Amino acid sequence: MKTSQETAANTFSGYPVLVLLLAAMVLAVMALLRLGGGGGGFAVFTLIAMIVLWVFLIAGFYMLQPNNAAVITLFGSYRGTDRTNGLRWIWPWMGRHKISARAHNIHSEKVKINDLRGNPIDIACNVVWRVQDTAQAVFDVDDYKEFTNIQIEAGLRTVGARHPYDDMGEEDETTLRGSADVINAELQAELNDRLKVAGIVVDEAGLTHLAYASEIAGAMLRRQQAEAVIAARAKLVMGAVSMVEMALDKLKADNIVDLTPDQRADMVANLMVVLCGDRDAQPVVNTGKG
């Protein structure tokens, strides 16, 4: 397919033409008054000519607001794009198609996809896009807005399927939940690649919703809770071992008590129970009796 490319159109400012239009109206009124006063054929000719000129001129007017453009055609052939703001004028037999070059904001619907590990997830995104090349937007796709909406969903599915939802205990892995900046940049690049054929550029893209699908949400929540408990227990054990080692070294360095290997083993076991237990310790005091 031949790719279109935007070029500047040859159009005119509408204000000088507006002055000419007002002059034609004045001449038409004068001819009408002269005709009413018994003027001859010249007055009739002038009146008809001014009416034709007035219709001809007014048919070529159009107005462009900031960040709007007009695609100009001549019998179906592209003749450039006018991006000049204000009152504009072209020859009446030339066509014009107005198109917005402003930023558009789309919040996609939630879609269900499978992540890299095959887990079903619900995902949605927000995309800010605008028309960069008006010729491509008008001539290279049938409906650039519908095309954009479809490609946003397709790009979201593609990026979501490339990565797992979370790291599942693996470090340095790009995940949908834990690598937001990376995922957003990848989504923007994916959409720009898909939409360049329509002359669309994506200025910003990011995930706005991310969750496990309802059918596995409960199981995944229990898995996350179990992982959190395991991580907390591991950290607690490492801290307890460090504290026991510190206590034994301190007792030995200060010559407070000389422990036999069996006593050291009992002390380590008791300290580990106290430090790692879920409940408060219930000490047994040795009174020396019995």
Contact criterion met (CB below 8 Å) for 187 and 205? yes
CB atoms near residue 202 (< 10 Å): 25
Nearest Cα neighbor of 49 from 64, 61, 32 is 32
Tens-place pLDDT, residues 67-96: 999 999 999 899 999 999 999 999 999 999
Task: For strands 61-64 and 111-114, give the pairing.
Answer: unpaired
**Dihedrals phi, psi of 112, to nearest 5 degrees:** -100, 125
Tens-place pLDDT, residues 117-146: 888 889 999 999 999 999 999 999 999 999
How far, CA to CA in Å, does 57 sit from each of 1, 18, 22, 49, 62? 38, 8, 10, 12, 11
**Domain boundaries, given as residue ranges, for the chain:** 12-100, 104-212, 217-276
Q: For the structural domain made of 104-212, what CATH number should be given?
A: 3.30.479.30
Task: For strands 86-89 and 61-64, give the pairing.
Answer: antiparallel
Beta carbons within 8 Å of 135's beta carbon, 6+ residues apart? 4, 5, 6, 7, 71, 78, 81, 199
The reported pLDDT for the residue numbered 138 is: 94
Task: Provide the pLDDT confidence category of residue 226 given band limits of 50, 70 and 90.
Answer: low
